[in-house]
Amino acid sequence: MISDKMSGLVKNSSVIRAMFEEGKRLAGIYGAENVFDFSLGNPSVEPPVKIKEALLQILNEESPNLVHGYMNNSGYEDVRAAIAESINHNFGTLFHGENIIMTVGAAGGLNVILKTLLNPGDEVVVFAPFFGEYRNYVSNFDGQLIAVSPNTIDFQPNLVEFEHKLSPKTKAVIINTPNNPTGVVYSEKTIKELALILDKKQKEFRTSIYLISDEPYRELVYDGVEVPYLTKYYDNTIVGYSFSKSLSLPGERIGYLVIPSEVDDFEQMIQAANVANRILGYVNAPSLIQRAVAKCIDAKVDVEIYNRNRELLYNNLLEYGYECVKPQGAFYLFVKALEEDDKAFAGRAKEHNLLIVPGSAFGCPGYCRIVYCVDYNMIERSLPKFKKLAQEYGL
Amino acid sequence: MISDKMSGLVKNSSVIRAMFEEGKRLAGIYGAENVFDFSLGNPSVEPPVKIKEALLQILNEESPNLVHGYMNNSGYEDVRAAIAESINHNFGTLFHGENIIMTVGAAGGLNVILKTLLNPGDEVVVFAPFFGEYRNYVSNFDGQLIAVSPNTIDFQPNLVEFEHKLSPKTKAVIINTPNNPTGVVYSEKTIKELALILDKKQKEFRTSIYLISDEPYRELVYDGVEVPYLTKYYDNTIVGYSFSKSLSLPGERIGYLVIPSEVDDFEQMIQAANVANRILGYVNAPSLIQRAVAKCIDAKVDVEIYNRNRELLYNNLLEYGYECVKPQGAFYLFVKALEEDDKAFAGRAKEHNLLIVPGSAFGCPGYCRIVYCVDYNMIERSLPKFKKLAQEYGL
């Protein structure tokens, strides 16, 4: 009795979530300490203490009707202004509160902007490997997802193929840097080339092509790498941000969109996004946590904890013979599967109670994603298993 | 550059929200105390103290990674179990945690269930007057909204016309009791007749017709009136609940769906709703507030405050010559406009700084909605204005 679309989706229901459930099952059999769940990006580092302090302060000092009540669908004005100011301070931009729309996480933000933009059949270009949910978000509005094949040398986007895949039907391009699942940060050179191509194609097709930058991992970077702020390179850029990872608040569903005043059709766009936020059923981003993040805007989790995990896992996997680009951000490693079929490889890993996600889920077969936002100790305990797995493949 | 659908929506952007903005504008000119904004259902009664206590206790005693982290897309298992138990205790039902899906408010819940059910072109029947957003929620999934015309005698649904409007394409029926905008509670007699008609038509068409009960106002009732629990009358019932009004938390976006085990295709439905919750971009209902409402499950705001407002406004309007059915629940009065054109009447009211919403926004022209979840003092100050308005029409 359910809809045809949902019927298909239930069948292919998220591989990642299925893993999560599988992990719980295996833990029941073998004991939690003997199952190594590297499947779900659920931050393991605690939120900064400032978050708790901010929440307590708001609850104790502000009016409950303000803290828990309706506000403009786009969010509290003071919160939006504080966020604009912080971005300006960090990146030298010139945003105002009116450029910010508070959203139910980055997932909510992406859905808001795709609803705002897409007519049925419009094309949205993504670079493989990409977060699998993009497929569903685009499908929610009957858009068509066009995937550019991966560049497995360094996982920077394949811009030659990109240029060929743009068409008069291209309405948007989604990029995600630092990237899930590779941990790669797109370089400034990449961004500049990407912007040039988009500008050229906009002129050629006489259309607007919006670049949507999905940035939940912006603050999680290592070795001092810089993540370019996209609005500075291409006018038609819209940023989708989330505090899920930077403040370890994924369950709270809090993020924002930046819609710069320079984007084509700005006035219409900002109104439409406001309406989309409402009618998609979000209504507004959750209120108390909106107020809390505004007080912690430049706080972030202790990235060094993830960095230690990264070094431990990356160095050891390399030693065992695995191939992998060293991630510069986020908390994912994207290793080459030790056989052609990544699903079969993930299956073999599971026999060692290692739960990793096949790259096919990200449009990039032949690889697997290993999440390292987990306990350092779990990584340590898992290493002999990774070693044994490699040995089974003759490494 | 925005989508055609959004382009139309921006033009017709919510009358109610526009009023809200207009109220702020007028307050700037005449002073807040001289503007009488009866347009937005933003609860004026404070949340129960228990909510603050619960939030503080959770923040001080529970693990931050649990409190702010991801959980199953359908919500925390202990929260879902607590809600099922409370419903069972209050209404003699037999739900388990697995029948409950935590949602981003009732608006989120309705979108989840409509995405789960609707193929393009499927019909969703509503009874006028109805909450205008239903039109958008149904349109999100390319369904067709079929409105049954109002019964202006007592605003119980018009079941004769209802029966004729059901068709093999009817996938769902939405009812909302206590009702926005009339405040009317559908009687048990009405519910029984409605259920009989649905059962008959399901057999006749050999289809499943789901009754979606949108219940944000369930706890706000006066004079001891009973609100029948719909799942007890019709097997294919799905309940959408929100804590926005019962606990005065509308900004927090917290509610739930009840999908009883007896609904047709239960297993598929529950999985699909879980996936829909994820891919619509909600991911999960906000985490901290999920845990808080579970601790306050049987708390509610002081309804007597709304009751005083209701009596003051209703009795005086009647005295001035207005016609109105006395509301039994929610915090709305639905008065007959004093001229045929409800928009013109609302315009005349605005000349007295009285902001009320034309019934056309609810599919019921000729009436206007007055919200009384406002300060008692504001109602008192507004009464001379309502009186003068009536006098202008010769009453």
Residues of chain B below pLDDT 50: none
Determine, for residues A13 and B275 on separate chains, whether the beta-carbon distance falls below 8 Å: yes
pLDDT category at A18 given cuts 50, 70, 90 is confident
- Does A12 lie at the interface with B, CB-CB under 8 angstroms? no
Determine, for residues A253 and B284 on separate chains, whether the beta-carbon distance falls below 8 Å: yes
Give the separation between CA A206 and CA B259, rounded to whole angstroms. Answer: 49
Q: Which residues of chain B lie closer than 8 angstroms to A250, CB-CB?
A: 68-70, 283
Amino acid at B58: I
Q: Which residues of chain B lie closer than 8 angstroms to A110, CB-CB?
A: 281
Q: What is the pLDDT of residue B14?
A: 58
Q: Which residues of chain B lie closer than 8 angstroms to A287, CB-CB?
A: 251-253
**DSSP notation for B249-287:** -GGG--EEEE--TTSTTHHHHHHHHHHHHHHTT--SS-H
What's the burial of A347, exposed, middle or buried (CB within 10 Å: 0-12/13-18/19+)?
Answer: exposed
Question: Which of A58, A101, A235, A283 to mutate to probe the B interface, most B CBs <10 Å?
Answer: A283
Strand partners, A355: A37
- Does B81 lie at the interface with A, CB-CB under 8 angstroms? no
Q: Which residues of chain B lie closer than 8 angstroms to A288, CB-CB?
A: 55, 251-252, 288-289
Q: Which residue has the tokens 């912080």?
A: A86
Q: Are strands B123-127 and A367-371 parallel, antiparallel or unpaired?
A: unpaired
Q: What is the pLDDT of residue B48?
A: 96
Amino acid at A313: L
Of B68, B122, B278, the CB nearest to A251: B68
Q: Which residues of chain A lie closer than 8 angstroms to B13, CB-CB?
A: 271, 275
- B109: Cβ contacts below 8 Å, ≥ 6 apart: A281, B101, B103, B240, B241, B242, B255, B256, B257
First to last CA, chain A: 50
Determine, for residues B288 and A288 on separate chains, whether the beta-carbon distance falls below 8 Å: yes
Of the residues A272, A295, A318, which one is the last residue of a structural domain?
Answer: A295
CA distance A240 to chain B (A): 13
User: Is pLDDT above 80 for A14?
Assistant: no
Determine, for residues A108 and B136 on separate chains, whether the beta-carbon distance falls below 8 Å: no
What's the total number of domains in chain B? 2
Give the separation between CA B23 and CA B37, rounded to whole angstroms. Answer: 6
Q: Is residue B345 part of a domain?
A: yes
| HSE-CB for B373 with a 13 A CA cutoff | 28
**With helix as H, strand as E and coil as C, how does chain A read?**
CCCHHHHHHHHCCCHHHHHHHHHHHHHHHHCHHHCEECCCCCCCCCCCHHHHHHHHHHHHHCCHHHHHCCCCCCCCHHHHHHHHHHHHHHHCCCCCHHHEEEECHHHHHHHHHHHHHCCCCCEEEEECCCCCHHHHHHHHCCCEEEEECCCCCCCCCCHHHHHHHCCCCEEEEEECCCCCCCCCCCCHHHHHHHHHHHHHHHHHHCCCCEEEEEECCCCCECCCCCCCCHHHCCCCEEEEEECCCCCCCHHHCCEEEECCCCCCCHHHHHHHHHHHHHHCCCCCCCHHHHHHHHHCCCCCCCHHHHHHHHHHHHHHHHHHCCCECCCCECCEEEEECCCCCHHHHHHHHHHCCEECEEHHHHCCCCEEEEECCCCHHHHHHHHHHHHHHHHHCCC
Please check whether residues A104 and A208 belong to one and the same domain.
yes
User: Is pLDDT above 90 for A310?
Assistant: yes
Give the separation between CA B75 and CA B389, rounded to whole angstroms. Answer: 49
Please check whether residues A319 and A291 belong to one and the same domain.
no
Q: What is the pLDDT of residue A13?
A: 73
CA angle, A285 as apex, A281 and A291 as ends, to 5°? 160
Please check whether residues B168 and B224 belong to one and the same domain.
yes
Determine, for residues A275 and B7 on separate chains, whether the beta-carbon distance falls below 8 Å: no
Determine, for residues A116 and B2 on separate chains, whether the beta-carbon distance falls below 8 Å: yes
Torsion angles phi and psi, residue A387, rounded to 5: -65, -45
Residue B68 and residue A249 in contact, taking contact as beta carbons nearer than 8 Å = yes
Q: Is residue B57 part of a domain?
A: no
Contact residues, B window 165-194, toward A, CB-based 8 Å cutoff:
none
Residue B229 and residue B203 in contact, taking contact as beta carbons nearer than 8 Å = no
Of the residues B295, B317, B344, which one is the last residue of a structural domain?
Answer: B295
Q: Which residues of chain B lie closer than 8 angstroms to A276, CB-CB?
A: 6
Q: Which residues of chain B lie closer than 8 angstroms to A264, CB-CB?
A: 1
Residue A180 and residue A332 in contact, taking contact as beta carbons nearer than 8 Å = yes
Determine, for residues B2 and A264 on separate chains, whether the beta-carbon distance falls below 8 Å: no
- In this structure, chain B runs to a length of 395
Handedness of CA B345, B348, B352, B358 (dihedral sign): positive
pLDDT tens digits, one per residue of A366-393: 999 999 999 999 999 999 999 999 999 9
pLDDT tens digits, one per residue of A289-302: 999 999 999 899 99
pLDDT category at A360 given cuts 50, 70, 90 is very high
Q: Which residues of chain A lie closer than 8 angstroms to B278, CB-CB?
A: 14, 17, 133
- Does A272 lie at the interface with B, CB-CB under 8 angstroms? yes
Residue A133 neighbours by CB distance under 10 Å:
20
Contact residues, B window 285-344, toward A, CB-based 8 Å cutoff:
285-289
Please check whether residues B360 and B383 belong to one and the same domain.
yes
Determine, for residues B67 and A140 on separate chains, whether the beta-carbon distance falls below 8 Å: no
- For the domain that residue A33 is a member of, what is the CATH number? 3.90.1150.10
Please check whether residues A148 and A233 belong to one and the same domain.
yes
Please check whether residues A288 and A176 belong to one and the same domain.
yes
Determine, for residues A279 and B44 on separate chains, whether the beta-carbon distance falls below 8 Å: no
What's the burial of A203, exposed, middle or buried (CB within 10 Å: 0-12/13-18/19+)?
Answer: exposed
Q: What is the pLDDT of residue B109?
A: 98
Q: Which residues of chain B lie closer than 8 angstroms to A105, CB-CB?
A: 281, 283
- Does B252 lie at the interface with A, CB-CB under 8 angstroms? yes
Determine, for residues B282 and A43 on separate chains, whether the beta-carbon distance falls below 8 Å: no
Give the separation between CA B350 and CA B129, rounded to whole angstroms. Answer: 22
Contact residues, B window 336-395, toward A, CB-based 8 Å cutoff:
none
Amino acid at B60: N
Q: What is the pLDDT of residue B153?
A: 96
Closest to B184 in 3D by CA, of B126, B227, B214, B145: B227
Of the residues B238, B269, B295, which one is the last residue of a structural domain?
Answer: B295
CA distance B322 to chain A (A): 30
Residue B236: closest C-alpha in chain A: A1
Contact residues, B window 94-153, toward A, CB-based 8 Å cutoff:
104-105, 107-112, 115-119, 122, 133, 136-137, 140-141
Q: What is the pLDDT of residue A356?
A: 95
- Does A62 lie at the interface with B, CB-CB under 8 angstroms? no
Strand partners, B324: B335
Give the separation between CA B206 and CA A388, rounded to whole angstroms. Answer: 57
Determine, for residues B9 and A118 on separate chains, whether the beta-carbon distance falls below 8 Å: no
Phi/psi-derived region of residue A223, left when phi > 0, alpha when psi is between -120 and 50, beta in every other case: left
Q: Which residues of chain A lie closer than 8 angstroms to B118, CB-CB?
A: 3
Determine, for residues A250 and B70 on separate chains, whether the beta-carbon distance falls below 8 Å: yes
pLDDT tens digits, one per residue of A158-174: 999 999 999 999 999 99
Please check whether residues B246 and B199 belong to one and the same domain.
yes
Please check whether residues A288 and A256 belong to one and the same domain.
yes
Determine, for residues A275 and B133 on separate chains, whether the beta-carbon distance falls below 8 Å: no
- For the domain that residue B285 is a member of, what is the CATH number? 3.40.640.10
Q: Is residue B81 part of a domain?
A: yes
pLDDT tens digits, one per residue of B196-212: 999 999 999 999 999 99
Torsion angles phi and psi, residue A190, rounded to 5: -55, -50
ipTM for the predicted complex comes to 0.96
Please check whether residues A133 and A172 belong to one and the same domain.
yes
Share of chain A above pLDDT 70, in %: 99
Residue A43: closest C-alpha in chain B: B69
Please check whether residues A12 and A85 belong to one and the same domain.
no
Please check whether residues B97 and B226 belong to one and the same domain.
yes
Of B9, B115, B122, the CB nearest to A279: B9
Cβ-Cβ pairs closer than 8 A, A with B, add up to 241
Q: What is the pLDDT of residue A52?
A: 98
| HSE-CB for A277 with a 13 A CA cutoff | 27
Q: What is the span of the domain harbouring residue A224? A: 49-295
Q: Which residue has the tokens 């969010």?
A: A75
Please check whether residues A95 and A200 belong to one and the same domain.
yes
Q: Which residues of chain B lie closer than 8 angstroms to A123, CB-CB?
A: none
pLDDT tens digits, one per residue of A332-351: 999 999 999 999 999 999 99
Contact residues, B window 184-243, toward A, CB-based 8 Å cutoff:
208, 210
Over range A268-281, report the average pLDDT.
Answer: 95
**With helix as H, strand as E and coil as C, how does A174-227 read?**
EECCCCCCCCCCCCHHHHHHHHHHHHHHHHHHCCCCEEEEEECCCCCECCCCCC
Q: What is the pLDDT of residue A15?
A: 64
Determine, for residues A52 and B65 on separate chains, whether the beta-carbon distance falls below 8 Å: no
Q: Where are the alpha helices (DSSP H) in chain B?
A: 4-11, 15-30, 49-61, 64-68, 77-91, 105-117, 133-140, 159-165, 188-205, 266-279, 287-295, 303-320, 342-351, 376-392
Of B55, B105, B140, the CB nearest to A59: B55
> Which tokens sit at A260?
């710069």
Residue B279 and residue B346 in contact, taking contact as beta carbons nearer than 8 Å = no
Q: Is residue B137 part of a domain?
A: yes
